[in-house]
Amino acid sequence: MNSHLLKKTKEMIAMSFDQYWAVRPETLQAIVLQIENNTEAIEQIASNKYREKKGIAEIKISGPLVKTDDWFTSIIGATSYESISDTLDDLAENPGIKGIVLNIDSPGGVVSGIDSVVDSIKRAAKVKPVVAFSDGMMCSAAYWIGSAASYIVASKNADIGSIGVVSVHQEFSKMNESEGITTTVFKAGEFKAGGNPYEPLTDKVKAEIQQRLDFTYNNFKKSIAKNRKTTIDKVNDMAEGRVFIGKQAKDIGLIDEIGNIDIAYKQVRKIIMDEIKTMDGLKEHYASLIEEHEKDVKNSQKESIFSLLSLFIGKEHADKFIDLYNSGISPKQFESVAAIYDNSQDKKADDFKAEMLEEIKKTGAENVGVSNDEQKKDFLSEVSKYQQNENVSYAKAISHIAKTMPELHSEYLNSL
């Protein structure tokens, strides 16, 4: 590569790195070398595609992590947050997918855009289990992503952690000077264009950059604490850029289990089964079966009530009640009809009928509403008035008004 092209390439690197990275330092250096040497892009395994196995989707996330898909992504063999989020959102809405495995092998990446992936994981986890797995690296930003999953599995030799933030600055003022190139940066504001590649950093700009790094680092730790349901003090033990291997990561709380990819799939299935065991889970997975069962229970209750009703008021009268019930009559209308039988039944039967009516209400009879006919209003108004004045039950109020105002009661029944 000639010197002019090398100079331009380094300038491109410096401008591209005007952002913060949650990545292992050696990976950041490898990215620099890859662009400088203009080598072929490494195979991009992770994309907006996934593979599905018996209702479980596996998303592969590998290489450096960047915000969006562009030329930079393809050059360094990176995975974009944009593609991960899009895939997660699609899988969350896919009824054929019951769970998700995030297969992660990444040293980390840029901080910008990572919140969108974390949010997508959490949205997906509300409707189906999401388990993270790594048998390579789940470091820095990659761990930030993995921590949002419902459960984390890693192999015994996987690198986990590296919780920290890094930023690299390069400037070429001396190289430009040696080649007779003078670059002038015009700006308004003391910190504007701070960290540009054409002039050395001032102490104030260095302090400002460090302050932003510290702020991002604290946000990183807070997010890990929230995702892993632990304290900042505990996260501090995991952080400071340290990398933990396999069992070390489990012992300190970075992961939940040591195992291979099959263990991750097994954990997804376990979470699914645990959810199915709950009533809400059963209703979701077996809605039609539950609905049929509830109908059977209600029908059984009605049959028992109607059988007992026949014993107390006789089959002929009971059949009339059953016909009225099946016609969709409301419980209140049903109570008014029950008053017809008050003169022919003793007090014990009256009490039992009231109990039966209460039970019939519980079986779910639909209220077909009351007509606006004036005669209905008059009868029901008298019933309500008597109930309030005498402080009696609604059924007893109907019985009393039916006895004392038989003509009004008869007109009411005719209007039903």
Q: Which residues are catalytic?
A: 140, 192
Please state the length of the chain: 416
Contact 141, 110 (CB under 8 A): yes
The Cα 336–Cα 109 span in angstroms is 75
Beta-carbon count within 10 A of 76 CB? 21
Radius of gyration of the chain (CA): 37
Amino acid at 302: K
- List of residues 6+ apart from 375 with CB closer than 8 A: 408, 411, 412, 415
d(CA 151, CA 114): 19
Helix, strand, or coil (residue 62): strand
Helices (H), 38-110: 71-76, 81-93
User: Helices 406-415 and 394-404: crossing angle, nearest 10°?
Assistant: 110
- Are 128 and 92 a contacting pair, CB within 8 Å? yes
Distance CA 46, CA 32 (A): 21
- Map residue 137 onto helix, strand or coil: strand
228, 147 contact by CB (below 8 A): yes
Residue pair 254/238 in contact by the 8 Å Cβ criterion? yes
In DSSP terms, which residues pair with 244 in a beta bridge?
160
Pairing of β 130-134 and β 151-154: parallel
The whole-angstrom distance between residue 196's C-alpha and the CA centroid of its chain comes to: 41
